[in-house]
Amino acid sequence: MKPETNKKMNKQKLNLLILEDNPDDAELIIKELKKEGFVLEWKRVETEKAFKKALAEKPDIILSDYNLPSFNGMAAIKLQQQTAPDIPLIIMSGTIGEDIAVECVKAGATDYVLKDKISRLGTVIKRAIKEAEELRKRKQAEKKLQKYVKEQKVLLKEVNHRVKNNLAAIIGFLYLKEAKTKNKEILTFINELIIRINGLSTVHSMLSESNWRPLNLNKLCDNIINASLIGLPNSNMIDIYVSPSSIQISSNQAHSLTLVMNELITNSMKYGQNSNNKINLNVDIKKNKKNIIITYRDNGQGYPQSLTDGDFSDIGIGFELIKGIVTQSLKGDMQIFNDNGAATVIKFKPET
């Protein structure tokens, strides 16, 4: 390949707008840029009206004198920022001081070059074009990302809506079956299902409303308990207390804790009634340096001795489920004991 061809391929095309009232200075600029290897299309203007019209033609770069008879560099920057902020504008002048040049850059100019240092112009223009291209690419990427996020929000909203409707339909079906069933074992089973699904529906609604951001643990526990008791017989005989707390947990931990709370509430409904048939549910929420600590209590007959000794076989799969969720999903540990009723302590580290 001929050397001349190589040289031609390395030349950079440039559509240049010059705001300059002195034709000789404009010619010097063109001469310097051609010497630097630019292939130029250029236009010189010297009035605000002509400058505004030329901006609409989208030049690659703008070179602006600071002092003109009826216009100045600062006004040119303001107009460029309003109509074509993505086009680099470089101030060129032989008279401005460093302080004015800095003010121009603060106002939006990409750079400045003094006319007696015109040899810098080619390097400054190349850098300005490169930075402008990088900025355009970033803006395009941001625009695509914003479009993607918007699409995902719409999709998530639709999924949330469908999940909520499906859960409501399942609960409605269970209530219908409950009304038609007289078998005590089946009624107990249906009530347990209602508790679990109401709890899941509640945490799903809370997470949807918060855009799946962390949830307040006090509010979560209170809402889950109240939702789980909706429609259950003698629910007016239940007193609930959840200690105030500003602790928050992640969406993953919220789902896991909902399943745990559902099982604890189900157990309290089965075994938590005392001689007065009054059930007290108490949830204490604390946090130390490492762990979130939740203590769940009822005032019933307490856990069987075998359960507190670690044998879960006498109370069904519920506590096996709780233990698995606490140790595997929440990466925590659980203790159960009796203290004027059944007590369960759950410890886990907050997700960061």
* CATH number of the CATH domain containing 78: 3.40.50.2300
Q: Is 122 domain-assigned?
A: yes
Q: Is 164 domain-assigned?
A: no
Tokens standing for residue 215:
């949830």
Q: Is 156 domain-assigned?
A: no
Q: Mark whether 224 and 317 lie in a shared domain.
A: yes
Q: Is 150 domain-assigned?
A: no
- Among the residue ranges 59-68, 105-114, 256-265, 301-310, the one predicted with the least confidence is 301-310
The pTM of the full predicted model, rounded to 2 decimals, is 0.56
For residue 265, the domain's CATH number is 3.30.565.10
Residues 320-342: what's their mean pLDDT? Answer: 90
Distance between CA atoms of residues 138 and 136, nearest Å = 5
Q: How many domains does the chain have?
A: 2
Q: Mark whether 124 and 221 lie in a shared domain.
A: no
Q: Give 3's pLDDT tier (boundaries 50, 70, 90).
A: very low
Q: Mark whether 201 and 308 lie in a shared domain.
A: yes
- Among the residue ranges 60-64, 145-149, 162-166, the one predicted with the least confidence is 162-166
Give the per-residue pLDDT at 2. 37
**Core vs surface per residue 306-329: b (16+ CB within 10 A) or e:** ebeeeebeebeebbeebbebbeeb
Q: Mark whether 108 and 214 lie in a shared domain.
A: no
Q: Mark whether 195 and 328 lie in a shared domain.
A: yes
Q: Mark whether 44 and 123 lie in a shared domain.
A: yes
At 18 the three-state DSSP class reads strand
Q: Tens digit of pLDDT for each residue in 241-269?
A: 999 999 999 988 998 898 898 888 888 87
Here the contacts of 42-50 (C-beta below 8 Å, separation 24 or greater) are 42/14, 42/15, 42/16, 42/17, 42/18, 43/16, 43/17, 43/18, 44/18, 44/19, 44/20, 45/17, 45/18, 45/19, 46/19, 46/20, 46/21, 46/71, 47/71, 48/75, 48/79
Q: Is 171 domain-assigned?
A: no
Q: Is 255 exposed, middle or buried (0-12, 13-18, 19+ CB in 10 A)?
A: middle
Q: Mark whether 186 and 121 lie in a shared domain.
A: no
Q: Is 311 domain-assigned?
A: yes
Give the per-residue pLDDT at 4. 39
Q: Mark whether 185 and 321 lie in a shared domain.
A: yes
What is the enclosing helix (H) or strand (E) of 166?
Answer: helix 121-180
Q: Give 275's pLDDT tier (boundaries 50, 70, 90).
A: low
Q: Mark whether 213 and 339 lie in a shared domain.
A: yes
Q: Is 17 domain-assigned?
A: yes
Q: Mark whether 101 and 188 lie in a shared domain.
A: no
Q: Give 293's pLDDT tier (boundaries 50, 70, 90).
A: very high
Give the per-residue pLDDT at 203. 80
Q: Mark whether 258 and 127 lie in a shared domain.
A: no
Q: Is 262 domain-assigned?
A: yes
Q: Mark whether 121 and 208 lie in a shared domain.
A: no
Q: Give 331's pLDDT tier (boundaries 50, 70, 90).
A: very high
| Residue ranges making up the domain that contains 199 | 181-348
Give the chain's mean pLDDT: 84
Q: Tens digit of pLDDT for each residue in 129-161?
A: 899 889 889 988 988 888 887 777 776 677 666
Residues 76-86: what's their mean pLDDT? Answer: 91
